[in-house]
Amino acid sequence: DINDYGETISRPGYVHDTWYPTSIPNTVVAALVDNNVYDDPYSGLNLLEIPGYKKDRNINFSLQYKPEESPFRKSWWYRTEFVIDSSLEGQRIWLNFRGINYSANIWINGKRIAGTDYVNGTFRLYDFDVTHFVLTGKKNVLAIEVFSPGPDDLAITFIDWAPGMPDDNMGIWQPVILYSSGQVALKNTFVHTRLNTHTLDEAELAIETEIVNTQDHTIETEIECTIEDVTFNKHITVNPLSTNKLILTHHEFPQLKIRNPCLWWPYQLGKP
């Protein structure tokens, strides 16, 4: 049991020598199995021996509340320490979560950057600007308090013939990414493809992205796009402290109309 607060846990020097080592991504039960607390739940009847196993087989496992004695009714903590290279001084630092099951309080260096009122949802993505919470060239601490989903939450569920884990797969089940950018950043870039399915000799591309200006003043900048040997630029003006969607199409840039594109095709079906 951990009785300390996130403000304490997320500071350098916190004693955590009784914690279980793990890697990310990993659920709580998976981490405990890795540390030999529980036997492999996929072998024999070991799953039934893990505390909190839901025994009622007349109700879908995902629709049952955890038993009172379940150790997974409470929150579990993940903690790591990291150093940001001094060469990134002056850059924006971002913390990206690809999947937390189900909700969480997130702390960095004694400060809570997000709580369960916002961080909730197994399949949601989170991207935080943590520039003002971290230190370059020094030790930083990230601590995440994770809560498991309940029966009414849209989480990782299984049908009745596939018993779920007693923790309902709570934990950090997708990668956590720390990265840097300039004062203007591109986010959630996606390329749409419209293929001429009759001739297969032409494809129209559309590039969609979000432009984030982290500064309190307007910024003039240039976006460069490169697709193999094709390169083109677009000059843009980004308003202060804003996030704007930008879409580039072949109507503005003829280079996005590709002749004789190389197609992906299942090899079992022969040539396209």
Comma-separated ranges of CATH 2.60.120.260 domains in the chain: 6-181
Q: How far is CA 192 from the centre of its chain?
A: 22
Looking at 47-56, 182-191, 248-257, which range is the least confident one?
47-56
Q: In whole angstroms, what is the distance from residue 49 CA to residue 111 CA?
A: 38
Most confident among 39-43, 63-67, 151-155 (mean pLDDT): 39-43
Q: What is the pLDDT of residue 144?
A: 98
Q: Give the mean pLDDT of the chain.
A: 92
Q: In whole angstroms, what is the distance from residue 136 CA to residue 159 CA?
A: 47
Taking residues 160-171, what's their average pLDDT? 85
42 Cβ contact list (under 8 Å, min separation 6): none
Taking residues 226-241, what's their average pLDDT? 92
| Secondary-structure class of domain 184-269 per CATH | mainly beta
CA of 12: how far to CAs of 15, 32, 79, 158, in Å? 9, 24, 11, 39
Taking residues 154-163, what's their average pLDDT? 75
Return the bridge partners of 80, or none. Answer: 142
Taking residues 211-228, what's their average pLDDT? 94
Which amino acid is residue 252, in one-letter code? E
Q: What is the pLDDT of residue 160?
A: 60
Task: Tell me the percentage of the chain whose pLDDT exceeds 90.
Answer: 80
Comma-separated ranges of CATH 2.60.40.10 domains in the chain: 184-269
Q: Which CATH architecture has domain 6-181?
A: Sandwich (2.60)
